[in-house]
Each structure stands twice: as C-alpha cells, then as structure tokens.
Chain A
Amino acid sequence: MGGIFVFCETRNGSFRRVPGELLTQFRSVADAKGEPLGALVVGEPVADEVPQLSQWGADAVVHLDGPQLSDAGPEAIAAVLAAYVRDAAPSLLVFGNTPLARTVAPRVAEAVGAAFVGDCVAMAWEDGRLQLVRPMYGGKLLSRVLPAPEALAVVTFRPNALGFADARATSPTYEVVAAAVADDEPRSAVLETAVKSGDRVSLQEAEVIVSGGRGLGDAQGFSVIEELADAFGGAVGASRVAVDSGWISVDHQVGQTGKAVSPNLYVACGISGAIQHFAGMGSSRVIVAINKDPDCPMCEKADYTLVGDLYKLAPALAAELRRMSAEG
C-alpha cells in the first residue's frame, strides 16, 4: 500500500494554507518514494474541494464523512483518522501544527502504533529516509530526527516553515469514506464554543505578525498594535510581559511558554527580545524592531530597526502602508 497523506484542515469553509504547503512540498517526496500523495479531509465538505487539492498536486482526495470538526471531540476525530490509517496503511501522515493537530495527531500516532514527530520546521528525503528538523530548548538548538523507516510516521509541521513549492496540477481521484465512531470510544462532549469575532488571521498561520511588549506601557497600547497589524493584514502577537500584565489574552503570547511562529515578517514593538521570546519567533524570515533602545537584544537581531517612540512610529508606518495599498 503506502502513500503520503496530508490532513487538510479547513477553516470557515475553505482550506487553510498549511495543507497547501505540505501537499506541494511532499510532492517530490512522494515521487521519490514512488507512492501516491493523498489529501485527507474530515468532516464538512469544502466548496471547491477537489479543484483546490488538484492545484496543490494531490493524486487522491479522501473525504472521511464523519464527525463535524466543529463539534466533535479530539477523540472522535483521532478515532476516525486511525481507522482510515489502519485500513489504507500509508507510510506517512502529515499535519500542519495547528491547535486541532496538537490535540489529535499524537492520539492518532498512539492508536496506530506510529512514530510521532511534532512541530517540524524543515524536512529532506535523503538516502531513502525522511529526515526531519525541529527546534528544541525553545529554539536554542535544532534536532535532526529520523523516524524508523519501517514504521508509519505521524509528523506535524509549523505553519509557514516550509512555504509553498511549485506544484503541477493533478487530476486526483475522489473518494468519500463513511466514517463512524465506535460507541466504546472515549469521548468528550463540546458544551460551548467561543471564537473571537473579526477576520484577523490565526497567529500561527499569519504571514505578518505585529507584536507588542513592555514598551507599550498599558493595555490601550494594543490599539496601536492592532492598527498596524490591520494595515499589514496580519495577526497580533504579544510578549510574556504584556500577557502577564493583563494587557492582552494569553492566546496572543509568542515565545517559549507561548506560541512558536514563523511568519514572513515579524514586527516587534516595544519588545526587548528576551531569549524566551526569541525562542518563539527567531525563525521568522524578516524581523523588524521598533524600540526606543537601539541596544536591546531584539534590535541586535532584527533585520530592520526603527529607533524612537513606537506611539509615533507605528501609526506612521500604518498610515504609510495604507497609502501604499491605496495606490496599489
């Protein structure tokens, strides 16, 4: 059997970006292994499901028609995936490292006796083996991990870390598999779901993140951060100090005890750049620091630094971005 399957997570009725990264990147691995590249969708159908997955180079689309992701517990989703994996016996099951994958993927790995490697940021297919690279010790070291070649591996990748590869469009097969959850599976019941309103992109998948820290001085400061994030079309992040001071909720925290992110652009406003913060965003492609202290660690590591009052600089930058975008 064999095959590389990418779990294609949806959000608001369309696919997230990260399955696109994974499908296009694993195309060459599938070719090298001589195995098909599959796209695995669970739950609610997506409007342009097959065309999109064809653009990303999938050979096969498998829709597990079972629990709706929005109201199923992680145990049910893991059980449905595990049942399919037992049946189809792929060699590799790949997820984007999203909150859903974090609560589902290790459970799938255990249920099917697979290796698990989480939060990878790079991969290579060399000497007939998959080599994975993942940060450890808060990004202070990179670990090269080889899953045992004979075992199925469940692997998650940090969104934006691989990026998209060029892909040739395919004509995938499409199969709907009825997926039921056995009555004796453990399950949690969802009582209430509270998703924040607004269209801001998720922190971990955002291409641009604007973060605020101690230098903001108070909670109101985040209105400046939000204005700049909106001008970039990005997400809002925060340092531990900002979260611990109660200026913004913990789900915005970037760092070793918060979220690990890899955006194209990370704008750190009033963040001195403690090692624990850097652990969560040091792999960003471009870093901008806006800070009154040009000697702070963040300014030393940033690609571009604006020195001065962030309450003047951030709104000026937002205005400039809006002007540029209006001019097209």
Chain B
Amino acid sequence: MQILVCVKQVPDTEAKVVVAEDGRSISERDITFIMNPYDEYAVEAAVRIKEASSSEVTVALVTVGPPRADDALRLGLAMGADSAMRVWDEALENVDGGAVAGVLSVVAQRVGFDLVLCGRIAIDDAMGEVPLRLASRLGLPHANAVTELTVADGSVRARCEIEGGTQVVELGLPALVTTQKGLNEPRYPAIPAIMKARRMPIELLSLESLGMDPDGVRAVTRTHVDGLTVPPGRGAGRVIAADSPEEAARELARLLRDEAKVL
C-alpha cells in the first residue's frame, strides 16, 4: 500500500507575525517555521499504519513550498516516512489553494497512492481548502477531521467530527483522510533518525517536470489577497472590586445587562 502525506511548513504558533513591505505577506525575518501541527498527526498516522501492517506499506511525503520547507519534510522522514518530494516554482508564489490542489493532484497521480492523508487545516491561513479540493479532483471519497483511523481489507474506517458529536464512516480505498487533534500523539524522532533523515534525498519537482504550464497554474488562482492588517486592539477593561463573591457577581451581572447589553 502506498500512502501519500501532504504537509505544509507554517510559522510557529508562538511566532510574532509582522506584515511585510508589500502589505500582502508576512516578513519571514525572525520567524521559526514548523511542520503544520495537523500534518504531524497525518505523518504519525501513516507511519503507524506502516508499522502495524504485515504487508509492505510505503509512506511518501509531498509539500508545495520554497527551499526552507525541506525542514518540514526532514522531520517527516525522521518520523519514519520513506521518501519526500518538494514542488516549487516561482509561479507558485502567492497562488491560492485551488492552484496548490491542482499541483498536488498531478503529483499524486504521478507517484500513485491508495490513501492520501492531510492535516485538516494549516494553522497559517486556516482555510481548510486544499485537502478537499484534492479529494474532489482525484475523485476520492473523503473523511474530514478524523480522530480515529483504521485501515483494513481495502477500506478505511474513520471517526469524524460532526456537529455536537462524531460519526464513524467507511471509505473504500483509494480515499483521502484529513487528520484532527486527538488522532494520535506524534512522536519526537530520536537523534539517529534525525541524522539519517538529513542524509535522505528530497526529490525536487518543478512545474515543468510535472508537465504543468506555470501560467496555467497561476491562472487557477481565483482569489487575490489585497492586504494584511493587524486587528484593532481591545481597550482596557475594568476590574470589578467587591467585598464578597456574591457582591462581585451581582455587579458583573448588572454590567453585562445594563452596560454591555449581552444578557
């Protein structure tokens, strides 16, 4: 079985993001990049399927990103993936999720797959668009935001998050699954695995090598980010002083009703 895991490199959640001079992107200075945390669940899930299987399972990683994204791929290799590919081309700067899904679908068809795993969302743009576009493009059934996953006898059984609860679904392979927090605890690779991953090759793919026309890929982008701004700060609030919890509660309830008008 061949598992393809799509990963993305994103700024660390602790990162202080600053708008770049172009007003449309962020300054990368002083930013630490990490593998998108939801993609770590996907890599971990793939490696666990491989480890638990008696037949041969290969785990291939793919990302669309600039050279720094190799670090995310190397983490995935250290976690136990077998191979890694990075697609990059100048034409991919500032394209939207529709274009990225188009590129990933060409890679997927080229390398072959039984199961595609993706994090349910990337924490940078939080759009949650690429995996489901990819599923649609590849004609695959999908399970979104899964917290349990088993693969057996040519099908996937997954527990997905739905409104107010969960749903267990079954998908025949090939299929695409997006991973949610709670699915697993991603491993911290040991030093020897990290050293080994450093020496593993990362296959670099250009749009040309995928037989894709850069202008065509750019044209698939149907959204334009017009500008990034810092949201307005919240004004200083009020500390409610009182002699007893009952008095404090009474005063807060009054303020919520009469001043904030939220009751």
A interface vs B, CB < 8 Å?
A: 11, 73-75, 78, 98-100, 102-103, 106-107, 109-111, 114-119, 131, 135-148, 151, 153, 186-196, 202, 207-208, 250-251, 253, 256-258, 260, 264-265, 275-276, 279, 282-283, 285-289, 294, 299-309, 312-313, 315-317, 319-321, 324
Knowing A140-B17, A191-B169 are in contact, say whether A288-B252 is a contact too (CB < 8 A).
yes
Q: Judging by beta carbons under 8 Å apart, are A110 and B132 in contact?
A: yes
A131–B165 alpha-carbon span in the complex (Å): 34
* Interfacial chain A residues near B238, Cβ < 8 Å: 303-305
Docked complex: B225-263 residues within 8 A CB-CB of A: 225-231, 234, 236-240, 245-246, 248-250, 252-253, 255-257, 260, 262-263
How many angstroms between the C-alpha atoms of A73 and B156 in the bound complex?
14
Contact B133 A106 (CB under 8 A): yes
1/0 per residue, CB under 8 A from A, across B179-194: the answer is 0111000000000000
Binds A, one of B109-117, B118-126, B198-206: B118-126
The reply to whether A143 and B228 form a contact with Cβ atoms under 8 Å apart is yes
B14 interface residue (CB < 8 Å to A): yes
Our pick among A189, A282, A285, A312 for the contact of B231 (Cβ within 8 Å) is: A282
Q: Is the CB of B252 within 8 A of A317?
A: yes
Residues from 123 to 174 in B contacting A, C-beta threshold 8 Å: 123-133, 135-137, 139-145, 147, 157, 160-171
Contact across chains for A191 and B165 when beta carbons are under 8 A apart: no
**Is B224 a contact of A286 with CB atoms below 8 Å?**
no
Within the complex, what minimum Cβ distance (angstroms) separates A240 from chain B?
Answer: 9
How far apart sit A144 and B223, CA to CA, in the bound complex (Å)? 10
Residues of B contacting A283 in the complex (Cβ-Cβ under 8 angstroms): 231
Does any Cβ of A come within 8 Å of B76's Cβ? no
Q: Bound complex: CA of A307 vs CA of B225, how far in Å?
A: 42
Tell me whether B13 is interfacial, beta carbon within 8 Å. Answer: yes
B19 contacts A by Cβ under 8 Å: yes
A99 adjacent to B162 (CB under 8 Å): yes
Q: How far is the CA of A287 from the CA of B166 in the complex (A)?
A: 29
Given A193-B168, A194-B168, 14 additional A-B pairs, CB 8 A: A106-B128, A107-B136, A107-B142, A110-B137, A138-B126, A144-B226, A147-B223, A148-B223, A194-B167, A299-B239, A303-B237, A304-B238, A306-B252, A312-B245
The complex places the Cα of A313 from the Cα of B166 at a distance, in Å, of 34
Classify the secondary structure of A's interface with B.
mixed
Interchain Cβ contacts under 8 Å between A and B, 21 examples:
A75-B141, A102-B128, A106-B132, A106-B136, A110-B101, A116-B223, A119-B128, A136-B124, A140-B17, A142-B229, A144-B226, A189-B171, A191-B170, A192-B167, A195-B165, A257-B13, A257-B38, A286-B262, A308-B245, A313-B249, A317-B249
- In the complex, are the beta carbons of B249 and A251 less than 8 A apart? no
Closest Cβ–Cβ distance, residue A317 to chain B (whole Å): 4
Which has the most chain A C-beta neighbours within 10 Å: B140, B167, B222, B240? B222
